[in-house]
């Protein structure tokens, strides 16, 4: 195994996304809890990232010079576990024990528990700061490794995100790349009901970041945006990905109820049929 999964074709990425979506609904159904909506909105972006020459050894997930993927919106853990299963880091039995006592698949992603997880998340707003520290360390080490951080859009209501945004720009961390999963829904309701955050791209631009807005479910756009982000090395980069919460499952799409609710037996059957 080399130091990257290589560059997968659009067809391969879309097939991997489909398989991940199936596992996301299966594992949340099995656990009778979890966060399917934000996992389904994020998964195309995560798959696109890992399939675009992400530096990573599946047989050595803690390789010190790997690229980092920091899932700051740690409740989207089913998405993380689904891709780790797809690339062979964790097994089927692991993902199907999601949220059970002793399972390597904790409710929120936790690097102490799961090979291939680069951050212990669960409390929103912390991942970008952690990514900044990781990026500063990479620069100190003269390493080419990149640090990717995925945030939720509701998560940007946390003030620490903007502390991190300001300091990343000040420290000129061109190896720090953020992806904002702009699905428009947070725990209680739509973001524009809870506290609208407006034009996130303009806000990151004002903090000194290079930004690009894309359709987070169009794999061509996803891959192009990741390539573009890799090409920017003199300032931090934010990709604002417009997504649909619950993407791929009709009754979950754009439905705040499925932020943190698992599908029932009947709903699982419908979801699997729609996703197959």
Q: What minimum distance in Å lies between the beta carbon of 235 and other proteins?
A: 17
Q: Which of 27, 87, 164, 240 binds other proteins (CB under 8 A)?
A: 164
Q: What minimum distance in Å lies between the beta carbon of 230 and other proteins?
A: 20
Residue 102 vs 159, nearer CB to other proteins: 159
Q: Which of 109, 135, 185, 223 binds other proteins (CB under 8 A)?
A: 135
Cβ atoms within 10 Å of 231's Cβ, excluding its own: 9
Q: What minimum distance in Å lies between the beta carbon of 167 and other proteins?
A: 5
Q: 262 by DSSP, 3-state: which?
A: coil
Residue 64 vs 101, nearer CB to other proteins: 64
Rule CB under 8 A: is residue 123 a binding residue for other proteins? yes
Q: What minimum distance in Å lies between the beta carbon of 162 and other proteins?
A: 9
What single DSSP character describes residue 157?
G
Residue 134 vs 211, nearer CB to other proteins: 134
Could you tell me which residues come within 8 angstroms of residue 21 by beta carbon, excluding any fewer than 6 positions away? 40, 43, 82, 247, 248, 249, 275
Among the listed ranges 135-143, 241-249, 251-259, 266-274, the one in contact with other proteins (CB under 8 A) is 135-143
Rule CB under 8 A: is residue 64 a binding residue for other proteins? yes
Q: Do residues 121 and 108 make contact, with C-beta atoms less than 8 angstroms apart?
A: yes
Q: What minimum distance in Å lies between the beta carbon of 144 and other proteins?
A: 14
With residue 89 as reference, give the H or E element that holds it. Answer: none
Q: What minimum distance in Å lies between the beta carbon of 146 and other proteins?
A: 13
Q: How far apart are CA 135 and CA 193, in angstroms?
A: 34
Residue 49 vs 70, nearer CB to other proteins: 70
Tell me the two tokens of residue 35: 């966060």
Q: How far apart are CA 219 and CA 48, in angstroms?
A: 7
Rule CB under 8 A: is residue 115 a binding residue for other proteins? no
Rule CB under 8 A: is residue 184 a binding residue for other proteins? no
Q: How far apart are CA 244 and CA 261, in angstroms?
A: 16
**The 147-152 sheet, strands edge to edge:** 68-71, 147-152, 176-182, 237-242, 210-215
Q: How far apart are CA 141 and CA 136, in angstroms?
A: 9
How many amino acids of this chain bind other proteins (CB under 8 A)?
31
Q: Put residue 79 in one of left, alpha, beta given phi > 0 → left and psi -120 to 50 → alpha.
A: alpha
Residue numbers at the binding site for other proteins (CB under 8 A):
64, 110-112, 118, 120, 122-123, 125-127, 129-138, 140-141, 159-160, 163-164, 166-167, 170-171
């Amino acid at each position: 195994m080399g130091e990257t999964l290589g560059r997968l074709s659009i067809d391969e990425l879309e097939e991997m996304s489909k398989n991940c979506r199936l596992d996301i609904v299966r594992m949340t159904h099995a656990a009778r809890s979890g966060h399917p909506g934000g996992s389904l909105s994020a998964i195309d972006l995560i798959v696109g990232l890992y399939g675009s020459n992400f530096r990573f050894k599946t047989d050595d997930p803690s390789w010190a010079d790997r690229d980092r993927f920091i899932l700051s919106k740690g409740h989207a853990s089913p998405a993380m576990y689904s891709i780790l299963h797809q690339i062979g880091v964790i097994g089927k039995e692991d993902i199907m024990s999601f949220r059970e006592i002793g399972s390597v698949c904790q409710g929120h992603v936790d690097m102490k528990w799961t090979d291939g997880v680069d951050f212990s998340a669960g409390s929103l707003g912390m991942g970008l700061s952690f990514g900044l520290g990781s990026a500063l360390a990479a620069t100190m080490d003269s390493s080419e490794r990149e640090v990717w951080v995925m945030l939720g859009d509701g998560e940007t209501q946390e003030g620490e995100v903007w502390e991190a945004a300001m300091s990343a720009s000040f420290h000129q961390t061109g190896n720090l790349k953020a992806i904002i999963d702009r699905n428009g829904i947070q725990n209680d309701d739509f973001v524009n009901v809870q506290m609208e955050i407006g034009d996130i791209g303009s806000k990151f631009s004002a903090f000194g970041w290079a930004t690009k807005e894309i359709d987070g479910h169009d794999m061509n756009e996803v891959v192009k945006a990741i390539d573009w982000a890799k090409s920017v090395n003199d300032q931090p980069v934010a990709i604002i990905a417009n997504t649909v919460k619950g993407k791929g499952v009709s009754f979950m799409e754009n439905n705040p109820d499925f932020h943190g609710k698992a599908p029932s037996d009947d709903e699982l059957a419908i979801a699997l049929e729609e996703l197959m």
